[in-house]
Structure formats: C-alpha cells, structure tokens
Amino acid sequence: DISNDGNSMLSAPVINKQPAQTTDGSSEIDILAILGTLRRGKWTILFFVLLLMFGGGYYVYRMATPLYTATATIALQSRSQQVVDLNTAVSNLGGDFYTINTEIEVLRARNLVRRVVEELNLVDNPSFNFTLREPPKYTLGNLIKGAKELVGLGDDGPPPPPPTREDIEEGIVGMVQGSLKVANVEFSRAYLVSITTADPKASAAIVNKLIEIYISDQIAVKYDATEKANSWLIERVSELRAKLEAA
C-alpha cells in the first residue's frame, strides 16, 4: 500500500487458517448399531417368525389340497408281423423319433381323454366338478362383496348363469389333459403315463382307463386292417379264378 505521506509501505497479506477437513463420500456400516437394533426388537422379530410358522402350518394341514400321482408303464410292440404280404395292409411301428413322438401325442389326444372322462363319469366326481363341492365360507370374492356393501357401492348385478354339464365336461377334459404326462423311456418302446390329481383312486383309474382304451383302439385298428386285407385277397382270388375259367 502507498500512504499519503509519500513513504512506501508494504503490508503482509492476511491468511485465514482453518483446520483441514477430509471429505470422504463413502459411509461405513456400523455393525454394532445394527446388532443393537436387532437386540432391542428381538421380541417383535420372534413374534412375526412364530406367526409366519403358524400360518404356514395351518395352510399346509388345513387349507392346502394334497395331490396324488399315479404312474403306469406301457410297452409297444413292433407291428412287423403282417397278416399278409402287403405293405399297404398293415403299417409297421418302428422306433424312430417321429414314431415315438406320434405315439406320445396319440396317448395325450383330447378325444382319448374325453372318452376316459366319460367312461369314469368324472363329471359327478367332486374332486373334478367344482359345482359339487361345498362352497368355502371365506373367499376373496366374498370379502370384496362385503367391503362394497359396507361402503354402499351395492352389488355387481345378477350372478352369471350356472355352467352346463357340457361346459363342465369340457373343463374337466382340459384339466385332465393338462395334468397328463407321457414320456418315452430312453432307448426303448416303453412309455410312462402319469397324472396328478387330488383323488388317489381317480388318478389310478384315469391312467389305467387311458391305457385300456389306447390298447383297444390299437387292436381295433389292426383288426380293421386285417379285414381290409382279407377282403382285398378274396376279390383278387375271384378275379384270377374268373380269368382262368375264361382261358
């Protein structure tokens, strides 16, 4: 600085010293604080654990529906033995990939499953027909309906009409077909047929009836092919005999 009297004077700069601070963006987890919090709330945690255990046990032993699986094995024999020496009379059942998958789809065919449902009369079985079961007291729909009545929203109109027997049967056919499993035993012509339902007797009956109908259909197909071959042979012999007599 230069004063008014003409003498030059230099002043030292003023420096404000402050203690150095370290700014670190990372935060450390206090393990002891977390343990202390858990220790203070141990009774609350124990209460909720016991509540969950009780609820799970009640659901398993009271509300959950037990399921039963029935499994049967069917072995398909090759149709290499022909009644007559005609390639078009009786088809051969080989062990190739396409034949195996075809037989699996045949065993799971909807028409085959529908015949099982009809012959076992599953429409009259409460395990498959929900309309024959006793309605539960507490359902989500009942709770929603009760809540609407409390707040004055009213009902949702008249209930829908009950399903017909045909509708129920179609639903059971779809349910059985969806639960049915057919698998080929590797490197063999054996097939595992299994189904899982809530009725142990029905599970076994469905598998046995399915295999019974399948075998009956295969015998009928082979018998029909044999009849056609015999008819063809009789006609052919008659033609040859007529030609010989004419000669």
pLDDT in tens, 17-59: 444 444 444 455 677 777 777 777 777 777 777 778 766 665 5
**Are 227 and 210 in contact, with CB atoms under 8 Å apart?**
no
Give the C-alpha separation, 218 to 74, whole Å. Answer: 13
Mean pLDDT of 67-72: 92
Mean pLDDT of 195-209: 94
Give the C-alpha separation, 163 to 169, whole Å. Answer: 10
Give the C-alpha separation, 100 to 78, whole Å. Answer: 12
Residues in the chain: 247
Contacts made by residues 102-109, CB under 8 angstroms, sequence distance 24+: 103/76, 103/191, 104/182, 104/183, 104/184, 104/191, 106/214, 107/182, 107/191, 107/193, 107/210, 107/214, 108/177, 108/180, 108/182
pLDDT in tens, 98-116: 788 888 999 999 999 999 9
Edge-to-edge order in the sheet of strand 181-184 = 68-75, 190-197, 181-184
Predicted model pTM: 0.60
Q: At 72, phi and psi to the nearest 5?
A: -135, 155
Give the C-alpha separation, 101 to 78, whole Å. Answer: 15
